[in-house]
Structure 1
Amino acid sequence: MNVRSTAPTAAERLLSAFEGAMGIPIPVHVRCWDGSEAGPDSDVTVVFRNRRAVQTVLWSPNELGLVRAYVSGDLEIEGDAFRLLTLPDLVDRLGTLSVRGSDRGTVLKSLATFVRLGGLGLRPTPPSVEVARRRGAKHSKARDASSVSHHYDVGNDFYRLFLGPTMVYSCGYWDQRSDDRDAIGTLEEAQNEKLDLVCRKLGLQSGMRLLDVGCGWGSLAIHAAEKYDVSVVGVTLSHEQAEWAQARVSEAGLSDLIEIRVQDYRDVVDGPFDAISSIGMSEHVGDSALPEYAQHLLDLLRPEGRLLNHAIASVRSLTGTGNSSGLIENYIFPDGEVLPLSRTLDAFERAGLEVRDVEALREHYALTPRAWVGRLRDSWDDAIRLAGAERARTWLLYLAASALGFEEKGRLTIHQVLAVRPSDDGSSGLPRTRALWLG
């Protein structure tokens, strides 16, 4: 007579151990390397493909262990990844054995279970795409160039998979007709609307000279030259971006109006410019270098010249949240700093710039990464072929987390700050009303 075993499966033991150590229920389905499953029915399943996935989660603090296990392919997320990232407390506490809500006996029992499951072995080697220890002073020119290269020099064709033909890597400007969160088909329209909004805020007119700091793949430079007949100097630290941008400029027949340089903005000395744009670049500058950034851009502007700074901002301090040791710092933007808006405004005003307008675009950025996630998923095989499985996984997780960061109030936002260099007599050169200077 066969008696069915009632011993807990690997998945049941693993789920129970995590819940005991963390002191909270885990409302996701779990599957283990032996095919066993546990947990409630859910629209997301966390798959531990091997014991190394458990080791990685346990060895690394905060969310970094979860990121490392996923990026390396030891842990899979089936179903709605957005749902997993929004579960309260789970991501913040999964990578560390928190004793909140658990008595000492429960925690010791969980540790014993992890040992039996092989989860407390030697520290696993981080994925190859994780940023190595950086050299040199933070925000030195050499270190900034290395950090920018890590993020942007991963293949133009890879970026094109999710950015689309506009190759704009910042939030779109979605009008009311595009209020659907999954309105992927209107991404190009939203990005072109954003480019034109920037040009109108800068008051571009034929014959003007524009400096585009952090010009990316040249999209704004081309739009400004084609639509507003201005000459543009675009600078980037990414060699791959510069090559792509230069080819686009040549193809568009705009080489007489646009110059793309591989150059640190601090080395630009051929002002004055009538206008300066900085779209998604000042996040790389850092808090300590922000006053130098503001002063140098002021020095490059002619009197009554306008500066538009488009940058992500933190709503509350990110210190202590785990971000500094997690996904963003170790995989995406090494040395990047997301600062409160007040820091930027203070640096601008201390340098002598007059801030004339601030527009928050949080809802617009919440829509944009969701569109990027959809496109990356639709091109997943190509993404792996172009960038490798680890990097493709990194970007998918990063874009999904970014969308949620902007959707949840009180975490991240983004602002366009319009400032001017006043003339000696105090004139800003701006019309008195926003409606007039927006055109």
Structure 2
Amino acid sequence: MTERKSVAEQLAAALATVLGIPELPVRLRAWDGSVWGPGDAPVVVIRSRRALRRIVWAPGQLGLGRAYVAGEIDVEGDLYAVLGAVGEAARLGPDRSPPRLSRADRLALLRTAATLRVLGPAPAPPPEEVRGTRHGLRHSRRRDAAAVSHHYDLDDDFYRLVLGPTMVYSCAVWDDEKTGLDAAQEAKLDLVCRKLALRPGARLLDVGCGWGSLALHAAQRYGAEVVGITLSVRQAALARRRVAEAGLPDRVDIRVQDYREVDDGPFDAISSVGMAEHVGRALLPTYAGHLRDLLVPGGRLLNHAIAGHGWTATRDPDTFISRYVFPDGELVSLAETVGVLEGAGLEVLDVEALRRHYALTLRAWVNRLEESWDEAVRLGGAGRARVWRLYMAASALSFEMGALGVNQVLVQRPGGAPPPLRRDWV
């Protein structure tokens, strides 16, 4: 007589099928207390039958992500260990979904769900899932504003808890692994300003200015006259307060404005840090051409953006990142970015890869989130805190493994003075 498999063993087989791997590389504990898997492996807990029901209805990254955000799937101990083991077995990154299930695999999943008595209607997605940003033309101004609002219009104190006092939400630049996050972010701001050759009176456009950190640094340390634009109403409000507190309202202008609406050039320099990922592949030539037209002859543009190594992100709307983190976000390769900038008539002066730096930055953000977990839950809710923990930890691993990169590409509009013979920003 065949021994009946435990709930945990059946769940482990079902999850392995969904992930497209022969065996689940973690130890699984089910809602009934049964356990399956190697004793020394990291532990994943399936707290509720509802988790499996979500996976039946969305058998892939989205169903798993929904169950985690809802607290129906959890990790005991090191989240990096679990994500690393699963990612290595399935070769997944934050924007790569497991393979589509075959008909036979779907039937097997349904049989397991029936045996465990979890069949039923699809559970409602957690409230943190994107709402109202998927209507209208992709990357229209209205839809882009809604997508930005979904991610950035959260409680300012939630961001401050994770990012720290610099309020910089992009890759820092580290001297070594012992450099503190705040010092590394200050170093990044200064590097951008030096690459752009800012000087007193220079006019800078900061595209995607966030909470105004780079704008403030450029005005305070380099005497620049800055226009910062963002689509986030909450970001702009805090940035304006910070500008007022610094006594710089005559030198820093923060606007809620789409980059396509800026028409008061020329600018001596343009910074775009962590913003190009929101533009969309189809509009990258428009983006590059418009920013070129806003520069004076000889003016510099620094484009700092995440890129995939050897692949480009699809428009799959059902990835965890698309539904919970960056709606409508699109990554392109470094080669494509450079090609678009050159196609717009801009001369490439320098390309710097910062992949390892972003892994360190993300781990530092996760540490701050976990150290103040109860406060993060109070400010953003348990689901939102879990979204951030999962996406940042998974992204850190993807940068470490080389699935993702991040690059600063410095370009110049032809004309004006030639670039220096040495890289004076190093």
Q: 1:118 to 1:91 in 2, by over 3 A?
A: farther
Paired residue secondary structure (1:325): coil
Residue matched to 2:408: 416
1:11 aligned residue: 8
| TM-score in terms of structure 2 length | 0.92
Look up the match of 2:131. 132
Name the CA distance, whole Å, in 2 between partners of 1:376 and 1:297: 35
Question: Aligned equivalents of 1:107 and 1:266: distance in 2?
Answer: 45
Shift in Å, 1:13: 3.4
The Cα of 1:413 is off from its aligned counterpart by 0.6
Q: What letter is aligned with 2:425?
A: L
**TM-score under structure 1 normalisation?**
0.89
Q: Give 1:41's aligned amino acid.
A: G
Q: Tell me, in whole angstroms, the C-alpha distance in 1 between the residues paired with 2:108 and 2:264.
A: 67
**8 Å Cα contact 1:159-1:167 kept in structure 2:** yes
Query: Does 2:425 match 1:432?
Result: no
Aligned residues, how many? 417
Q: Is the 8 A contact 1:60 1:95 kept in 2?
A: no
- Give the partner amino acid of 1:25: E
1:280-307: CA deviation from partner (whole Å, max 9, x where unpaired): 0011001111111111111111111111
8 Å Cα contact 2:207-2:272 kept in structure 1: yes
Q: Distance in 1 between matches of 2:74 and 2:425?
A: 47
3-state SS in 1 of match to 2:229: strand
1:267 aligned to 235, 242, 261, which one? 261
Aligned equivalents of 1:335, 1:287: Cα separation in 2: 11
Distance 1:207 1:268 in 2: 20
Match of 2:387 in 1: 394
CA distance in 2, matches of 1:89, 1:393: 23
Q: Is the 8 A contact 2:8 2:36 kept in 1?
A: yes
What residue in structure 2 maps to residue 71 of structure 1? 69
Secondary structure of the corresponding residue to residue 194 of structure 1:
helix
Q: CA RMSD, aligned part only? A: 2.3
Q: Is 1:291 aligned to residue 278 of structure 2?
A: no
Look up the equivalent residue of 1:315 and give its one-letter code: H
SS at 1:243's partner residue?
Answer: helix
Which ranges in structure 2 are unaligned for 5 or more consecutive residues? none
Counterpart residue type for residue 124 of structure 1: P
SS, match of residue 282 in structure 2: coil
1:11-410 aligned at under 5 Å gives the runs 11-19=8-16, 24-87=22-85, 88-90=88-90, 98=101, 111-132=110-131, 134-175=134-175, 178-180=176-178, 186-319=180-313, 324-409=317-402
Q: For residue 99 of structure 1, report the CA deviation from its aligned partner.
A: 6.3
Change in CA separation of 1:108 and 1:224 when aligned onto 2, cut-off 3 Å: closer
Describe the superposition over 1:347-406 as per-residue Cα deviations: whole angstroms up to 9, x where unpaired: 212221111111111111111000000000111111111111111111110100110111
State the distance in 2 between where 1:25 and 1:13 align. 12
What is the one-letter code of the residue matched to 2:111?
Answer: A
- Give unpaired runs (5+ residues) of structure 1: 1-5
Partner of 1:3: none
Would the aligned equivalents of 1:225 and 1:232 in 2 still touch at CA under 8 Å?
yes
Give, in whole Å, the separation in 1 of the partners of 2:139 and 2:107.
44
Tell me, in whole angstroms, the C-alpha distance in 1 between the residues paired with 2:343 and 2:261. Answer: 22
Larger radius of gyration: 1
CA distance in 1, matches of 2:304, 2:382: 31
Shift, 1:44, TM fit: 2.2
Distance 2:91 2:351 in 1: 33
